[in-house]
């Protein structure tokens, strides 16, 4: 039997992970610089949010997580972008709070969601999901529930990603597209999702790093070299969560090594595709140097049809 699922996409927009400082060694002044944030708004509006708003299906709720000290003018512009869409809203956080948002009750507890299950999905504020990603994810989750009706939580992710190097030139005015150049088999943060029973103790997308998902929660897809102690500790933690959720069978399933994660794109290339943006502001600038031999000039019509991205607007304004 398929139960009702409430789908939430979470997008972080310049929030502080620690009470002091900004983000990964950068200063608070850098994080809240309005010129930088204006460029981020361009990427959010014409890449990330556009991919959801123009997709074949939308989530039940999009939460844009913002810092309580986000400059007022930027916040107003951000809220103006999402205001026409009833399923989208901002969600203000104090610095460091996100580190304690591992269970869905910590950030969805006041929303009064009545569905039996909640599906949370990550989308960075400068990346995009394929036009059918949300629809395909919902359909896959329905099939999962039919096959494993007693499983209280499950993780999903995809490796099928494209990268957009925003390096405009005379020969390639929109930059370049290339297959993901990371070279390691772990699911990417774009589209990383967790299905859980609607219980305050149920895990969400912040309960486990996307890079460890397959290593910790599958047998078939885990890498040869992975953190075995970390895998053991995390599965113990999940067992305690299952105990709080009163799912006794899950504790046994975890103990015997049952899979609690799915690689969505296996044998389904193109159905769970995402777009990762490489630009001068993010902390992944080294990716621009990778995969040069495989990249091709970006095509605005391809980016629009595959990811609902307005490439010309992006390149013009950042």
What's the pLDDT tens digit per position in 113-133?
999 999 999 999 999 999 999
What pLDDT, on the 0 to 100 scale, is given for residue 291? 84
Q: What is the pLDDT of residues 37-67, one digit of tens each?
A: 999 999 999 999 999 999 999 999 999 999 9
- Counting every residue written for the chain, the total comes to 318
Strands 176-179 and 88-93: what pairing? unpaired
The pLDDT assigned to 261 comes to 98
pLDDT tens per residue, range 287-318: 777 888 899 999 999 999 999 999 999 999 98
C-alpha to C-alpha distance for 81 and 61, rounded to whole angstroms: 15
pLDDT above 90 covers a percentage of the chain that reads 83
pLDDT at 21: 64
Strand ranges of the sheet holding 176-179, from the earlier edge strand across to the other edge = 128-129, 274-278, 161-165, 176-179, 296-297
What is the separation, in whole angstroms, between the first and last Cα of the chain? Answer: 48
State mean pLDDT over 160-184: 91
The predicted structure's pLDDT at residue 30: 87
pLDDT score, position 69: 94
Mean pLDDT on 266-288? 81
Does the pLDDT of residue 283 top 60, yes or no? no
pLDDT > 60? residue 111: yes
In the structure, what pLDDT confidence band is assigned to residue 140 with cuts at 50, 70 and 90?
very high
Instruction: Decide if pLDDT at 1 tops 60.
Output: no
Provide mean pLDDT across the span 169-196.
91
Range 263-288 average pLDDT: 83
Residue, of 24 and 79, whose pLDDT is higher:
79
pTM, rounded to two decimals: 0.95
Mean pLDDT, residues 165-193 taken together: 91
Q: With bands split at pLDDT 50, 70 and 90, how would you rate the model's confidence at 90?
A: very high
pLDDT exceeds 70 at position 22: no
Domain count, the chain: 1
- Show the domain range for 155: 5-317
């Amino acid at each position: 039997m398929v139960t009702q699922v409430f789908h939430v996409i979470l997008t972080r927009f310049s929030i502080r992970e620690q009470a002091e400082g900004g983000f990964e060694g950068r200063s608070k002044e850098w994080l809240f610089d309005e010129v930088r944030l204006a460029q981020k708004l361009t990427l959010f509006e014409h890449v990330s949010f556009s991919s959801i708003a123009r997709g074949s299906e939308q989530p039940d709720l999009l939460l844009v997580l913002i810092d309580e000290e986000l400059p007022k003018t930027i916040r107003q512009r951000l809220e103006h972008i999402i205001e026409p869409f009833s399923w989208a809203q901002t969600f203000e956080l104090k610095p460091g709070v996100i580190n304690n948002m591992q269970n869905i009750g910590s950030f969805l507890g006041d929303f009064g969601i009545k569905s039996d299950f909640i599906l949370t999905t990550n989308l960075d504020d400068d990346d995009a999901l394929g036009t059918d990603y949300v629809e395909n994810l919902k359909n896959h989750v329905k099939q999962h529930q039919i096959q494993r009706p007693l499983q209280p939580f499950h993780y999903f992710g995809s490796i099928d990603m494209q990268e957009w190097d925003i390096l405009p030139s005379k020969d390639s005015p929109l930059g370049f597209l290339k297959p993901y150049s990371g070279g390691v088999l772990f699911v990417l943060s774009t589209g990383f999702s967790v299905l859980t029973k609607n219980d305050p103790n149920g895990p969400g997308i912040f309960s486990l790093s996307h890079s460890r998902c397959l290593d910790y929660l599958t047998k078939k897809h885990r890498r040869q070299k992975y953190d075995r102690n970390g895998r053991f500790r995390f599965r113990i933690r999940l067992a305690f969560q299952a105990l709080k959720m009163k799912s006794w069978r899950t504790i046994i399933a975890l103990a015997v090594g049952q899979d609690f994660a799915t690689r969505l794109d296996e044998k389904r290339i193109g159905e769970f595709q995402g777009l990762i943006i490489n630009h001068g502001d993010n902390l992944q600038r080294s990716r621009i140097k990778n995969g040069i031999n495989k990249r091709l000039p970006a095509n605005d019509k391809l980016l629009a049809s595959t990811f609902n991205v307005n490439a010309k607007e992006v390149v013009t304004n950042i």
